[in-house]
Chain A
Amino acid sequence: MRQFCIFAQNSHKLNNQDTICAISTPPGNGAIAVIRLSGDQAIQITDKVFYSGDKKKLAKQPANTIRHGTIKDKDKLVDEVVVSLFRSPNSYTGEDVVEISCHGATYIQQLLLRVLLKYGARLAKPGEFTMRAFMNGKMDLSQAEAVADLIASSSAASHRIALKQMRGGFSEEIRNLRNELLNFVSLIELELDFSEEDVEFADRKKLRNLVSRIYSIIHSLSESFSLGNVIKNGVPVAIVGKPNVGKSTLLNALLSEEKAIVSEIEGTTRDAIEDTVNIEGIIFRFIDTAGLRETSDFIENLGIRKTYQKIGQSKIVLLLVDAGDKIDIIGKSYKHILKQTRNDDKHIIIVVNKADRLDREELQNKFSKNEFSFLRKKDMRVIISAKDQKMVHRFAEKLVQTIKPETHGENDIIITNTRHYEALVNTGEALMRVKNGLEQNISVDLLAQDIREALHYLGEITGEITTDEILGNIFSKFCIGK
């Protein structure tokens, strides 16, 4: 409901539309910045301050054209700009839109904005352009929500999901799901309203298979949420290891690997340090586990609940060990972590650090694959030296590979929207009750109660399945009417 609330707060009368403006590029200095105006007066207001090179007024210009010129407040020159003109309804918001590209200095942006406000525009509230686009029928609710996600997305992968959702991939998957469910409901209602008719009713096995299939679609969609969320907010990686094992060195080495953003997330737990590193478009969020810093006794430390919590929140656990550590101690630690995360989809990577302390032959003997036969298939061991950039690079690649198979199916649908997620989970729970009811052979009118609940929740995403639709489906498939 997050995005939804933004709209609700901003709601005002449609027939009393102000012309709004805002800086549409990110805050700060840049080469250029774009200021966008939208509303009935967007063109007139711009015309009051914009002097085109060819002396023509914007109001006389055709839509979808670009003009070069200057912005002046009376005689005072503000900036040399390029103006793009869009006319209603063929614009982002569906209203008349003018986009002014000016030079990127914060001072100029502010000045230009002030001039526009002076001549009749109003400063847009957060999300107001998108809200207008939504209100003017330019996009549906789930698209609008995707836009909100798009604006907030901070990595290439999350950008991709948001884009896909906007293109309606999600809607299509949901439409298939809806059809399956419609067929199921029709079979159920057929038994109730048309029990006196001479039609063949679906046998129990068919119904059970159908509901299982629908359930598994819903389940995989709602499962994708945790993945979608990971892509949006970063892949949590817990680092477990002794204090002197070289965690910060490793982190710093990875930081020098990444090409984009490095930031410290504020307001996370006090006893955990979080660093985000963007590698190949995927954000990794490294969580150093606090408990391990207090004492050097590793096994004892694992008993500390907070450490478990951190491990529990992560998608990948890095067990950082020293090349000098004994194999059986490493194995013990690994099994301990495994025990805590059993039946879990976490990947455990044993990172043998300080490889430079041993010579090559020694390393290969001591940390051969055979020695690590206790590892699960999804887990691995990596040997690095934080000082060796090549090794760090290879490690970074492995990190990406660990998570990539799950994120890379371009055609897979991934749920990133909390509202969709909740609806799917509720639908799934209701369907689970239907499944159980079918197995216990309870009468279908009682089953129908849960089916209706499932339809209701799914309807929050897909639009409702109406009784008219169900009856229509029945009449088209069965010969009803004595």
Chain B
Amino acid sequence: MNKYDVIVIGAGHAGCEAAAAAANMGSKVMLITMDMTKIAEMSCNPAMGGIAKGQIIREIDALGGLSGVVTDETMIQFRMLNKSKGPAMWSPRAQNDRIKFSKMWREKLESIEKLDFWQDTVNKILIENGKAVGVKTNLEIKIKGKSVIITSGTFMNGLMHVGKVQKEGGRESQPASYGLSDQLKNIGFEVGRMKTGTPARIDGRSIDFSKLKEQKGDDEGKCFSFMNDEVEIKNEKSCFIAYTSREVHDILESGLDESPMYDGTIKSTGPRYCPSIESKIVTFSEKDKHQLFIEPEGENTIEYYINGFSSSLPLKVQYNAIRKIKGLEKAKIFRPGYAIEYDYFPPTQIKHTLETKKIKNLYFAGQVNGTTGYEEAGAQGLMAGINAHLKINKKNELILNRNEAYIGVLIDDLVTKGVDEPYRMFTSRAEYRILLRQDNADERLTEIGYKIGLASEERIKRKRKKYDKRNKIIDFLKKESVNPGEINGKLENLGTAIIKRRKKIYEILLRPQVSIYDLEDELAKVRNEFDGIKEMKSEILESAEIEIKYAGYIEREKKIAEKIMRLEKIKIKINIKYEKILSISTEGRQKLEKIRPKTIGQASRISGVSPSDVNVLLIYMGR
């Protein structure tokens, strides 16, 4: 076979982004998957985005990744979450058609010229002189490549549990992969074990929707991709809210002795924020009910997903419990929920580029790094694909800072802190939440994406046009004034104080009660000015409004970020013998020794390294 630049193992959300990014930047890429029909499969719930995750998709898109475009083209419901909070919290979320989503990804990948596919299972990484040079598959085929990205998700030594039944596999009806993690373990990689789970899928025809509360999408849909102005959802579908009850809990409880979670079969850690229903009733036994979301699996299917009911109890227990839920009394189950245990590589073994510290040109991305979520996986895949391409072309690596992107926060957290449960992004993990908004991901990242050769010409033009226009609007609102007579009527209607003398328009916009659209409605000159915006109007106005309304907060956070970033500039010598610095706490010493931070800033973020440890380190370095 030909020699490739980049070989990607696994075609999930991480693998797809990795392969697309490297190939679109110009690398010759081989994408290997066990099953060509399962590309970018949504193994868990059929939704993209959500709080903090929606922001990540916007960032992937701004850099030139594909998750946003695919989401836009396959969504069956859109909601902007947290709309009642400040703009930093607005988080887009889409319900997607699972099958269309996968098909759309395949189409996108197939349209990339430099991307090849191979359906097979990799069981060995070929390594020469501490450097990855290719892979070997179950069909005994050797494929040579300059770099290898492992994005094998939950497939490495995957083991599924439903009650006492155990089945080897990486996903329902799919085999696990063997050999890879054992090989890497033998050459000195640390391998851990994690657990996650998924709920049952049920037949929509057997649900009594009249007993459930409907949750519709927003009236006004938005897009995930900055390349799209508008997405038309032709056949929108709703989600429904259901509740468990004491009766349901009693049945679940009766099955606990057959639960692999509680009889000691499953020892690995699952995510605390996404517990199984059995964990919920045990941990929060005082609660009478738990909320469930019944989510549609697609536009033209009767299949529904019971979000919040993930379980590894025996099928019979799951079945009986589900049938006690109001509205699901006659529910037919398509398949039960299950728990899955899988191998992962503790991510303190990789660098910020996602390249492993031990083997050159070998990258880990996605769930193999102990994360969870399509978005988190996609972001890592993208960054691994980018950095693999940059490295073989001897270009500077791309590392996003914590004040630049959630992607930067994600990767820095992984390599600096490691994980002790599947890692999911939360906005609280970001120090600079107000800077990392979904509306400005393009402003933050598209120039970077363009510079490295991933974001297209069209994308950069669009971004520049948008912000040129946005800045003009801000200037206009700052320059132009308004008389009391022109606006006071509106102000009174909005329940805010009238003005007594002529005022600059932007001063009026600073009031929380007044939106930029109120100004457009009321003031002819504003309307004239806004009418001049031909494209991306709502985004431009939204951006201008946020920049004006939240200027104080944004400025303050920028200043804090600059101050903290100074710590990032203090480099730590590579050869420090931490075990000799006894005034650093024992835990701090061990963590520093293991992670070997590059800068004082990174050291200060390692859990177990206290501020006084950092002070000692500074003293030690003669600062």
Tell me the A residues contacting B by CB distance below 8 Å. Answer: 4, 7-8, 11, 14-15, 94, 134-137, 140-141, 189, 191-198, 443-446, 448-449, 452-453, 459-460, 463-464, 466-468, 470-472, 475, 479-482
Contacts and interface: CB of A to CB of B under 8 A. Distances in A.
B434 A446 contact: yes
A463 B616 CA distance: 14
Interface stretch (B330-338, B484-492, B579-587): B579-587
Contacts of A453: 560
A11 B583 CA distance: 13
Describe A's contact surface by its main secondary structure: helix
A481 B273 contact: yes
A466 B607 contact: yes
Contacts of B560: 453
Given A445-B433, A446-B434, A481-B308, A94 B293 contact: no
6 contacts: A137-B582, A195-B89, A196-B51, A463-B612, A464-B610, A471-B272
B434 A449 contact: yes
Contacts of A446: 86, 434, 550, 553
A193 B51 contact: yes
Nearest to B431: A452
A481 B581 contact: no
Contacts of B426: 189, 193, 467, 471
B85 interface: yes
Contacts of A192: 51, 82, 85, 89, 427-428
Contacts of A444: 85
Given A11-B619, A195-B85, A445-B89, 9 more contacts: A94-B582, A193-B427, A195-B51, A196-B50, A198-B290, A445-B434, A472-B272, A479-B290, A481-B280
A139 to B, nearest CB: 9
A463 B429 contact: no
Given A141-B615, A195-B81, A481 B582 contact: no
Most A Cβ at <10 Å: residue of B280, B428, B581, B616: B428
Contacts of B280: 479, 481
B611 A463 contact: yes
B612 A445 contact: no
A443 B546 CA distance: 14
B483 interface: no
A463 B609 CA distance: 9
Most B Cβ at <10 Å: residue of A194, A444, A466, A481: A481
A8 B615 CA distance: 10
Nearest to A188: B428
Given A446-B434, A480-B272, A464 B611 contact: yes
Given A192-B85, A463-B610, A475-B273, A482 B582 contact: no
B583 A137 contact: yes
A135 B431 contact: no
A468 B607 contact: yes
Nearest to B84: A443
A443 B85 contact: yes
A193 B428 contact: yes
A100 B172 CA distance: 77
A191 B426 CA distance: 12
A463 B51 CA distance: 29
A257 B553 CA distance: 59
Interface string B42-82: 00000000111000000000000000000000000000011
Contact of A135 (B291, B307, B428, B582): B582
A192 B431 CA distance: 14
Interface in B529-584: 550, 553, 556-557, 560, 577, 580-584
Nearest to B283: A479
B623 interface: yes
Most A Cβ at <10 Å: residue of B84, B89, B274, B433: B89
A11 B273 contact: no
Contacts of A466: 607
Contacts of A195: 51, 81-82, 85, 89
A136 B611 CA distance: 17
A464 B290 CA distance: 34
A468 B417 contact: yes
Interface in B267-289: 271-275, 280, 283-284, 287
Contacts of A196: 50-51, 81
B74 to A, nearest CB: 22
B461 to A, nearest CB: 32
A445 B85 contact: yes
A479 B287 contact: yes
Contacts of B607: 466, 468
Contacts of A11: 619-620, 622
B115 to A, nearest CB: 36
A482 B308 contact: yes
B417 A14 contact: no
Interface string B242-286: 000000000000000000000000000001111100001001100
A393 B81 CA distance: 74
A93 B31 CA distance: 60
A302 to B, nearest CB: 45
A482 B580 contact: no
Most B Cβ at <10 Å: residue of A195, A453, A482: A482
Contact of B428 (A189, A449, A460): A189
Nearest to A197: B291
B514 interface: no
Contact of B583 (A135, A198, A479, A481): A135
Most B Cβ at <10 Å: residue of A449, A452, A472: A449
B292 interface: yes
Nearest to B420: A468
Nearest to B417: A468
B149 to A, nearest CB: 28
A135 B584 CA distance: 8
A459 B619 contact: no
B314 to A, nearest CB: 21
A463 B604 CA distance: 11
B428 A470 contact: yes
Q: Pick the 8 closest A-B CB pairs, nearest first.
A: A198-B291, A482-B308, A475-B272, A479-B284, A135-B583, A445-B86, A443-B86, A193-B426
Nearest to B309: A482
A449 B273 CA distance: 24
Contacts of A449: 434, 553, 556-557
Given A196-B81, A467-B429, A481-B273, A459 B611 contact: yes
B566 to A, nearest CB: 14
Given A4-B615, A195-B51, A445-B86, A136 B582 contact: yes
Given A445-B86, A481-B275, A482-B291, A467 B582 contact: no
B88 interface: yes
A362 B618 CA distance: 71
Contact of A471 (B417, B428, B550): B428
Most B Cβ at <10 Å: residue of A197, A446, A453, A463: A446
B619 A8 contact: yes
Contact of B433 (A4, A15, A448, A464): A448
Contacts of B616: 135
A195 B429 CA distance: 16
A481 B306 CA distance: 12
A122 B616 CA distance: 24
Interface in B90-121: none
Contact of A445 (B88, B272, B293, B611): B88
A458 to B, nearest CB: 11
A5 to B, nearest CB: 10
A77 to B, nearest CB: 39
Contacts of B81: 195-196
Contacts of A14: 580-581, 620
A444 B88 CA distance: 11
A457 B86 CA distance: 25
A466 B426 CA distance: 13
Contacts of B582: 94, 135-137
Nearest to B284: A479
Contacts of B89: 192, 195, 443, 445
